[in-house]
Amino acid sequence: MNFNSVSANDDPFAAWPPASAFAAAVRRAQFVGAYELFQASMRQFGPPAFRLATIFREGRCLPVTETVVAETPFCRLRRFSAGEGSNIRRLLCAPLAGHRAVVVRDAIESMLADADVYVTDWIDARDVPPEAGPFHLDDCVLLLERFMTQLGPAGLDVVAICQATVPCLAAAARLAAGGTDEIRTLALLGGPLDARLHPTRLGHIAAALPLPVFLAHCTGSVPPGYPGAGRAVYPGFLQLPTLASGQPERLPGLVLDAMRYMWFGHDEQDLGHAAASYAAMMDMPVEFLLDTLRIVFREYLLARGAWRIGEMPVNPAAMRATRLLTVEGELDTITGTGQTHAAHALCTGLANGYRAKVTVPTCDHYGLFCGEVWRSRVYPVLRAWLDAPARDLRAAPCRRRGIRSRTSVDH
């Protein structure tokens, strides 16, 4: 809850200013206490790290190099390359939705077998000084567009996960509408491109929760002692239970792995990876989340063709040369059925041979980008699509793995 601001109607001490000020101070102290307790518990796992030192490629163990190739106050673009590197470039857009980018570590490791992987490593709003200004959803789109341009869109494969699918599609559409080179391939995994379709429990909350209630109970200011002190955030300690409510069956296992990691020490690497996924929560800028609630879950601006960034409409139909793949998990309770495949109804400028959609049986939301389901059933299909030119695309790899797929979509 937010202990900083409630309305006069909610505050029994509002009629007497000294008592009201005292109550506000108590709420602030409670918020700071909860905030610091969460931060202290996360520090037990050490700084979040990708821990990608080596990979195996064609039977050889190759060292992995990690560098920062671009940096803004809110994001670092990290490049991972193995051995002498690759001439294939793939941009992995991690979601700005609570978890740090280390949650997509498995995806990075898989893709490194074939390409240099560039990852959007979003910076904890706790560590962004207030003078850096706000960060809106439109700013996210413009930043992704900038990264795509920097990497050379004509030879670039872009893979976007969860919340990142929305700004990624918008950025790709802006490139196409601007008359520059389009990105080569766009793969969208488990994202709410049209949240009107089969909304999940989290989708219902996002659409129906009154904004004053959200602001009063789910936001606060970063306490002193951090670079972002004073910045309004949706803090990580309040996000974790919300994310857990979307797929509650995952939380007990993650908590148990985290506890075992603390008990048995840092030599337990598998436990360390699980614990890192559990612990890697970050504060989000309030303005970014409010934009997401409005644009994605309430007004459905992308799905309705009504989203404008500055004076320019977001028009996915402008894309002509990009190859589009959408992937959904059959058991995804974070993003509803059909919400990701809805991209095909927006990208009407793409020929049928340039579009495919895949639904992965018995796959939950996190299985779309990590764990055994990702490695054995999701990534092989994604890899086949990324590697194959449109004219040579076959559905056979999908069928062999029992995955429902269509390699064309009716306009």
409 pLDDT tier (thresholds 50, 70, 90): very low
| Residue 4 pLDDT | 41
At residue 107's C-alpha, the angle toward residues 40 and 395, to 5°, is 150
Q: How many CB atoms lie within 10 A of CB 222?
A: 24
pLDDT at residue 13 above 70? Answer: no
pLDDT tens per residue, range 361-370: 999 998 999 8
Cα–Cα nearest to 66, from 56, 79, 57: 79
pLDDT tens per residue, range 371-381: 899 999 999 99
74 pLDDT tier (thresholds 50, 70, 90): very high
pLDDT at residue 159 above 70? Answer: yes
Which one-letter DSSP state was computed for residue 192?
-
Name the average pLDDT for the chain: 84
Q: What's the rounded Cα separation, in Å, for the pair 148 and 142?
A: 10
Q: What's the rounded Cα separation, in Å, for the pair 364 and 360?
A: 9
pLDDT tens per residue, range 227-263: 999 999 999 888 776 666 555 666 555 555 555 555 5
**Beta bridge partner(s), residue 187:** 159, 325
pLDDT at residue 406 above 60? Answer: no
Average pLDDT value for residue range 54-77: 94
